[in-house]
Amino acid sequence: MGSDQIIISSVLLLPLLAAIVNLFFWGNTKVQRVFGSIAVVAHLVLSVLLLRSISDNGIYILNVGGWLHGYGIMLAVDYLSAGMIALTSFVSLFSWFYSSRWFKTRRVGYLFNVVFFTLQLGIIGAFMAADLFNLYVWFEVMLVSSFVLLTLGSERFQLEGAIKYVAINVFSSTIFLAGIGMIYGLTGTVNMAAAGLALDGFANQTLPMVAAVFFLVSFGIKAAIFPLFFWLPASYHTPPIGISSFLIAMMTKVGVYTLIRFFTIVFPLDDTILPTVFIVLSGLTMVVGVFGAAIQSDFRKILSFHIVSQIGYMLMGLAIGTPLAIAGALFFVLHNVLVKTNLFFISGLVGSMSGTYSLNKLGGIFARFPLIALMFAISAFSLTGVP
């Protein structure tokens, strides 16, 4: 096994190892936290090493189990996926340490210390997936893990939000699986690159277009684009802030990432009606998200609706479709992940210190907590493009 295969395997398997070890030490929060802390730091180091190696050597491909190309599980890491993996590791590090103070019972802490890493595993796997069915499997890992995290604490409002979340995402998985079946039936493969080459030779694009719509709906739900976004503001404000920050930073970005991957590799948007559809959807996503945020009074709900709006900007880059536009969308993904995570952290601090997330009850934050107010102002201004 070469060095490239070792580092890819390590980046993918470390979260799985952390989850297994923490499960083994169920009931011992101290050991779980120590090992988990070592794991998130080590994973960030490995992710940075992977990103640096990719920038020097180009794309890495790993055929799991040594199967022939196209028959087994293929993992592929290029500069984009390596960057997203490093970003995930960075956010995971801060979310992990931030979350340690939010659990009211030991039992909730035990579960978080395991499921946090299975969610990280699912996200990393999705960024590495080179075939559609493998991507589907990682989506399911993400879905189950995120559902557990959303319900930690078992409060009624958490369960209500989580039910909406899982219902729409089960529908997304069903549509995704149907789309995979269509792609396989048309091309005889689920490998994204091979399927893209095969579909390019189709004279009649009707069935490929139907399959593309299936994937647009499925990935659109993951990304929370209009009109498939309602689950996000209904659920992401309900768990502890450390969990919310990780979910809202990375889960929708997996949807954006897969939209970009699919509609540039498998089904390019050139010479189709889809760019127009994407422009309309992105514009509506921007507007609806902003208006949704404007009518809220809960700090966390405002941020949740606002992320919907910003997904519209990312989708617009894909709709325009030029290399510069897509690069701009990806840069905005990086910016948004960092800024929005910070804003959620700050909202958690404000809620903890003030005892409320309602803007109607909050006041005088700058006078009481000037440093926190300054941190919020810097992040908020950065969302407006200042400076």
- Asked whether 180 and 190 are in contact (CB, 8 A), the reply is yes
Check residue 36 and give its pLDDT. Answer: 92
Check residue 375 and give its pLDDT. Answer: 84
Overall average pLDDT of the 177-187 stretch = 94
Check residue 106 and give its pLDDT. Answer: 57
Check residue 104 and give its pLDDT. Answer: 53
| Mean pLDDT score of the chain | 88
Q: Residue 154 pLDDT more than 80? A: no
Asked if the structure places residue 343 within a domain, the reply is no
Asked if the structure places residue 93 within a domain, the reply is yes
> What is the C-alpha separation between 186 and 180, in angstroms, rounded?
10
Q: Residue 1 pLDDT more than 60? A: no
Asked if the structure places residue 310 within a domain, the reply is no
Distance of CA 207 to the CA centre of its chain: 29
Check residue 15 and give its pLDDT. Answer: 96
Asked if the structure places residue 366 within a domain, the reply is no
Overall average pLDDT of the 229-246 stretch = 84
Asked if the structure places residue 189 within a domain, the reply is no
Q: Classify residue 27 by burial, with Cβ atoms within 10 Å: 0-12, 13-18, 19+.
A: exposed
Q: What's this model's pTM, rounded to 2 decimal places?
A: 0.93
Q: Where are the alpha helices (DSSP H) in the chain?
A: 3-24, 29-57, 79-99, 106-128, 132-150, 156-187, 192-200, 206-223, 231-235, 241-261, 274-294, 299-320, 323-354, 365-368, 370-383
Query: Residues 294-342: pLDDT tens digits?
Result: 888 888 888 889 899 999 999 999 999 899 999 999 999 999 999 988 8
The amino acid present at 150, given as its one-letter code, is L
Asked if the structure places residue 160 within a domain, the reply is no
> What is the C-alpha separation between 191 and 206, in angstroms, rounded?
21
Asked if the structure places residue 202 within a domain, the reply is no
Q: How far apart are the first and last CA of the chain?
A: 47
> What is the C-alpha separation between 307 and 18, in angstroms, rounded?
30
**Tally of domains within the chain:** 1
pLDDT band of residue 70 (cuts 50, 70, 90) is low
> What is the C-alpha separation between 11 and 292, in angstroms, rounded?
38
Query: Residues 72-125: pLDDT tens digits?
Result: 688 999 999 999 999 999 999 999 988 876 665 556 667 888 999 999 999 999
For residue 71, the enclosing domain spans 1-129
Asked if the structure places residue 54 within a domain, the reply is yes
pLDDT-wise least confident of 112-126, 182-196, 201-215: 201-215
Contacts with 60 (C-beta within 8 Å, 6 or more apart), sequence order: 4, 5, 7, 8, 53, 54, 76, 77, 78
Overall average pLDDT of the 138-153 stretch = 91
